[in-house]
């Protein structure tokens, strides 16, 4: 009896399996929420559902989706029985527009190459025929001299013409072959590291009768994101600061976002425009000058304001479109077509995160030298092919919707503007994030390139002042102070600087160090001339028994060559003794204020047009004469 029951169970199960129909459903992407790292894609579809049990196949879904983020919502008189994700290696992704264009160019060149090879073959055959004919005529002594001369002239002229044509054809063949090789190399670069497979979402539903049903699908994808970028323009320090708030959106998740609504969520040129900042000057002794230089070199490597480098694969080929981010910050960039990047850094950043599709994420240490980052291909396991919750092809009852970790099912039973044109944007405030709703639809191909979306253009009242630290840099940096910046929903990121119509370079919006006023460094102003000179009359060396005393007196000057008066903060510092055998005395800094903790002195000056002002800084250092002290 038990054997008969088991046999009947197998027959019934097989019959039910045979009765399950498969219907392919084509969905469209309606909306994408792009986070600083990753994106949530929302699709919709309407299809006819026959009576009984049906498996709906939604093809061409991103292979980079997070299985545990899949959410399905149905509209209609049917029940969702299960949801599964199946990796499809037979149905490849459609190539993007750039690759399709390159393939078309290659096809045209290959057709042209075939024609040139055919022409070469024809002329080679004619050359052989003329050569054989020449041998026959040469052996025929019965020809008249005039006839022989005419025949030889014809053969010589025609053979010369044929050989010239063959040489030109071979040159054309070389040129065409070279063009085809370059097109193939470009296609390889565009497809480097990309996953050619797709995903199929398998949704099994049950309906009592044939109906029309609607579906909403959403899921998270990797290898996508955005990072802020700004353009700061100052026409004059008497006018407001013009700011272009932009987003660089990129994705390489295997599906093109064509004419979709975007929501951007905050929920992650060779000269730096970042002003120099003084660090506390802690004076100590060294056993030799070499020890002092080594210590100074180590200190200089910890104050990088910019990171530069190249990202390549294991064979040394550049990886364009790789993402470079400061850990736990929204500051980031992508590599160019040569795999190179440069990124402005906030103080005390020691590492960067690097990500690229098909490769394992890396964390690299920031050094003073250009970085060479080699990415390692990631290894996929077979467990990633088909996943439903924690098992393969396991059916999930609709009554358990939301109860199984990894799958969220909701069933209901019921009767391209150009990238540089500013778009309409709606800002949504949330407790911990800010979202920018881009009203007009946008297209972001799956090519890893960064596409610019202008979030907002605005003019901001600013307080302008100059800062200089002539001990480290004889330059005056213009700073714009922005009050009420919290209301602007800014994020940390790089900013391009334009001052009085000229491009000056890049700076960084560093919000973590801002107080009630956000200061933005707008780069150097060469119309402010700074000098710092050691006055020889006051530079004394005194030797007393086993100690020596060195007195320095510095003269600092500021010359304003601009047509309007300026406010400038001049920063310098006194040494700090960290050893009992070093004594600091005779300090003088007329007109400046002193920070007792850091020993930094600051002059707050108002300098009229064409005016020059001078300041004095003096100190004496006593230390053992058999030691070396870091005076510079």
Q: Which residues of the chain have pLDDT under 70?
A: 1-20, 88-97, 133-144, 148, 188-197, 268-277, 296-304, 379-432, 537-544
CA–CA gap between residue 608 and residue 342 (Å, rounded): 38
pLDDT the model gives residue 196: 54
Instruction: Give me the numbers of helices (H) and strands (E) for the chain, helices first please.
Output: 4, 40
Q: Give which of 579, 572, 518, 582 is closest to 550, Cα–Cα.
A: 582
Report yes or no: 489 and 434 within 8 Å, Cβ to Cβ: yes
What stretches of 44-144 show up as alpha helix (H) in DSSP? 97-139
The domain 529-629 having CATH identifier 2.60.40: the answer here is yes
Helix (H) or strand (E) segment spanning residue 600: strand 600-607
Cα dihedral value 509, 513, 515, 518, nearest 10: -20
Q: Give which of 127, 38, 35 is closest to 435, Cα–Cα.
A: 35
Report yes or no: 183 and 102 within 8 Å, Cβ to Cβ: yes
The pair of three-digit structure tokens given for residue 363, joined into one six-digit string: 């964390």
> pTM of the full predicted structure?
0.54
Sheet containing 323-325: which strands, arranged edge to edge? 332-334, 323-325, 351-355, 362-365
DSSP for 238-276? TSPEEEEEEEEEEE-SSS-EEEEEEEEE-----SB-SPP
For residue range 290-320, what is the model confidence (pLDDT) as tens digits?
777 777 665 554 445 788 899 999 888 898 8
The pair of three-digit structure tokens given for residue 69, joined into one six-digit string: 């983020």
pLDDT the model gives residue 216: 93
The helix/strand/coil state of 301 is coil
Q: ∠ CA(134), CA(140), CA(142), 5° rounding?
A: 135
pLDDT the model gives residue 150: 76
Helix (H) or strand (E) segment spanning residue 10: helix 2-19
From the number of C-beta atoms within 10 Å of its C-beta (0-12, 13-18, 19+), residue 438 rates as buried
Report yes or no: 251 and 281 within 8 Å, Cβ to Cβ: no
The helix/strand/coil state of 464 is strand
pLDDT the model gives residue 94: 53
Report yes or no: 547 and 622 within 8 Å, Cβ to Cβ: yes
pLDDT the model gives residue 530: 96
pLDDT the model gives residue 554: 94
Helix (H) or strand (E) segment spanning residue 170: helix 145-191
- Match 């924690």 to its residue by tokens: 390
Q: DSSP character for 403?
A: T
Q: ∠ CA(301), CA(361), CA(419), 5° rounding?
A: 90
Beta bridge partners of 57: 24, 202
pLDDT the model gives residue 628: 85
């Amino acid at each position: 009896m038990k054997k008969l029951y088991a046999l009947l169970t197998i027959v019934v199960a097989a019959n039910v399996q045979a009765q399950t129909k498969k219907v392919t459903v084509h969905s469209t992407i309606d909306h994408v929420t792009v986070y600083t790292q990753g994106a949530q894609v929302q699709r919709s579809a309407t299809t006819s559902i026959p009576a009984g049990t049906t498996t709906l196949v939604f093809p061409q879904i991103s292979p980079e989706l997070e299985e545990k983020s899949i959410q399905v919502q149905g509209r209609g008189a049917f029940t969702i029985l299960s949801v599964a994700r199946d990796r499809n290696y037979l149905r490849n992704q459609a190539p993007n527009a750039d690759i399709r264009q390159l393939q078309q160019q290659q096809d045209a060149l290959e057709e042209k190459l075939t024609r040139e090879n055919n022409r070469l073959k024809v002329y080679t055959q004619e050359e052989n025929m003329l050569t054989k004919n020449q041998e026959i005529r040469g052996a025929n002594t019965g020809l008249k001299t005039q006839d022989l001369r005419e025949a030889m002239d014809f053969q010589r002229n025609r053979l010369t013409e044929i050989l010239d044509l063959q040489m030109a054809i071979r040159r054309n063949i070389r040129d065409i072959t070279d063009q085809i090789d370059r097109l193939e190399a470009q296609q390889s670069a565009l497809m480097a590291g990309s996953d050619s497979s797709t995903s199929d979402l398998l949704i099994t539903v049950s309906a009592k009768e044939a109906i029309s049903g609607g579906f909403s699908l959403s899921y998270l994808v990797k290898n996508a994101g955005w990072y802020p970028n700004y353009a700061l323009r100052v026409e004059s320090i008497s006018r407001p600061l013009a700011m272009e708030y932009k987003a660089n959106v990129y994705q390489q998740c295997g599906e093109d976002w064509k004419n979709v609504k975007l929501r951007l969520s905050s929920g992650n040129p060779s000269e730096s425009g970042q002003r120099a900042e003084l660090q506390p000057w802690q004076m100590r002794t060294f056993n030799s000058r070499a020890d002092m230089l080594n210590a100074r070199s180590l200190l200089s490597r910890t104050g990088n304001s910019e990171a530069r480098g190249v990202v390549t694969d294991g064979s040394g080929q550049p990886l364009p479109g790789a993402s470079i981010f400061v850990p736990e910050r929204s500051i980031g960039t992508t590599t160019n077509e040569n795999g190179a990047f440069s990124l402005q850094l906030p103080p005390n950043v020691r590492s960067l995160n690097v990500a690229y599709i098909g490769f394992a994420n890396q964390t690299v240490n920031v050094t003073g030298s250009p970085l060479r980052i080699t990415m390692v291909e990631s290894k996929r396991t077979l467990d990633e092919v088909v996943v439903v919750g924690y098992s393969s092809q396991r059916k999930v009852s609709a009554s358990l919707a939301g109860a199984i970790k990894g799958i969220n099912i909701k069933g209901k039973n019921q009767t391209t503007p150009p990238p540089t044109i500013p778009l309409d944007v709606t800002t949504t405030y949330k407790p911990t994030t800010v979202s920018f709703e881009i009203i007009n639809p946008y297209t972001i191909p799956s090519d890893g390139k960064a596409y610019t979306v202008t979030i907002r253009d605005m003019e901001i009242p600013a307080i302008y002042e100059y800062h200089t630290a002539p001990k480290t840099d004889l330059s005056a940096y213009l700073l714009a102070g922005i009050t009420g910046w919290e209301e602007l929903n800014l994020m940390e990121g790089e900013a391009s600087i334009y001052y009085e119509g000229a491009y000056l370079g890049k700076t960084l919006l560093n919000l973590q160090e801002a107080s009630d006023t956000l200061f933005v460094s707008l780069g150097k102003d060469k119309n402010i001339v700074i000098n710092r000179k050691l006055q020889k009359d006051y530079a004394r060396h005194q030797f007393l028994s086993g100690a020596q005393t060195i007195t320095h007196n510095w003269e600092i000057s500021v010359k304003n060559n601009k047509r309007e008066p300026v406010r400038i903060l001049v920063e310098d510092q006194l040494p700090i003794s960290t050893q009992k055998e070093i004594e600091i005395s005779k300090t003088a800094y007329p007109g400046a204020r002193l920070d007792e903790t850091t020993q930094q002195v600051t002059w707050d000056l108002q300098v009229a047009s064409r005016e020059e002002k001078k300041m004095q800084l003096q100190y004496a250092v006593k230390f053992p004469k058999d030691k070396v002290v870091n005076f510079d």
